[in-house]
Amino acid sequence: MNARAKVPHPQAGGIVVRAIPFSFEEGINPVWHPGRPEWSHMANGASLTMPYLEPFLIKTVREALKSASNKQLKDDVHGFMAQEGNHFQNHRRYNEILKTHYPELADVEDAMTAEYKKFQKKSLRWRLAYTAGFETMTMGMTEWLIEERRDLFKNADPSVSSLILWHMVEETEHKNVAYDLYQDLFGSYWPRTWGLIYGSFHVAWASRKGYNRMLKRDGLWNSFSSRLRLWKMVSRFLIKASPAMLRSLVPGYHPSKVNDPNWVSRWTHAYADLPEDIIPLLDTNDPDIPAQFAR
């Protein structure tokens, strides 16, 4: 394929917007990691929340942007909104395929629609604290997914694996934005703390509703061995994500102080060299899952 060289679209703040149209085969197996239905559906449940969570985050920071005082921060917010917009659009395409297998997921989506509509009526400080809190939690998730990628994604479906890890790379790139915007407008410690706790657990609970229904339809929810595997995976996530949440509560904390996994920079450099029309699919058959893409 003779594709012309691709030019990324960086915002003034340095946040690169990558409009990657991930494609998913209609016949894709929702258990995208062979032999690991519990982990597959945990990730599927998280994916289900994205077309509801991320538009809420975008609306919140767009409203807050009107009062922001720093030009660099304003540029970064625009990059944040563009990246998050690309995320939920790709997740929505995948979720539509999930619902052909699990039509009961529509009920979970209806509940999220109602919840975020209710949240939209809350104060800007509350909504921005929720946004900053959730974005803080994603740093722990990113560290877990990337550092343990060899176990979590080895021999898994490359399209779903690549979608998840691309999403995590960009969460790393805009990790400062929601925090800085909250600090610029409000800066109150306790509301931000509450936002971290509430936002993180609200999204986790919504994800659980999704994977609960998928595991039930697959006949696994009442299986002791399946439930044990599920709780082991949930525990692994909590062990990894909790330190990220706790360190954010320390006075003087700032997301920029957190070192990003080296794999993130390797991914961004590999993507910059990728021709325009090529989707950045990782080789999940490679035991190391390197930041390299098939051409």
Smallest CA-to-CA distance from 10 within 98, 83, 110 is with 83
Judged against a pLDDT cut of 60, whether residue 221 lies above it is answered with yes
What does the pLDDT look like over 88-124, one tens digit per residue?
A: 999 999 999 999 999 999 999 999 999 999 999 999 9
> Token pair for residue 100?
């052909």
Query: What pLDDT score does 100 carry?
Result: 96
Residue 190 has pLDDT above 70, yes or no: yes
pLDDT of residue 42: 98
Least confident of 19-23, 26-30, 173-177, 240-244: 240-244
Asked which of 135-139, 142-146, 147-151, 153-157 is least confident by mean pLDDT, the reply is 135-139
Q: Is 256 helix (H, G, I), strand (E, B) or coil?
A: helix
Q: Confidence class of residue 44 from pLDDT cuts 50, 70 and 90?
A: very high
Dist CA 113 CA 171 (whole Å): 23
Averaged pLDDT for residues 6-11: 40
Closest alpha carbon to 276 in 2, 5, 19, 1: 5
Q: Residue 240: pLDDT band by 50, 70, 90 thresholds? A: confident
For strand 16-17 and strand 9-10, is the pairing parallel, antiparallel, or unpaired? antiparallel
Predicted confidence (pLDDT) per residue in 191-218, tens digit: 999 999 999 999 999 999 999 999 999 9
Q: What is the pLDDT of residue 7?
A: 35
At 9 the three-state DSSP class reads strand
Mean pLDDT of 33-46: 97
pTM score, two decimals? 0.93
User: Does the pLDDT value for residue 272 go beyond 70?
Assistant: yes
* Mean pLDDT to the nearest integer, 61-79: 95
Q: Is the pLDDT of residue 3 over 70?
A: no
How sure is the predictor about 295, in pLDDT bands with cuts at 50, 70 and 90?
low
Secondary structure element (H or E) that encloses residue 222, with its range: none
Q: Which residues pair with 16 in a beta bridge?
A: 10
Q: Is the pLDDT of residue 9 over 70?
A: no
Whether residue 13 has pLDDT greater than 80: no
Region of 154 on the Ramachandran plot (φ > 0 left; ψ -120 to 50 alpha; else beta): beta
Q: What's the chain's length in residues?
A: 295
Residue 75's pLDDT band (cuts 50, 70, 90)? very high
8 pLDDT tier (thresholds 50, 70, 90): very low
Cα distance between residue 189 and residue 92, in whole Å: 34
Query: How much is the mean pLDDT over the chain?
Result: 92
Q: In terms of Cα–Cα distance, which of 293, 292, 274 is closest to 16?
A: 274
b/e sequence 162-195, b meaning 16+ C-beta within 10 Å = bbbbbbbbbbbbbbbbbbbbbbbbbeeeebbeeb
> Residue 277: which pLDDT band, with cuts at 50, 70 and 90?
confident
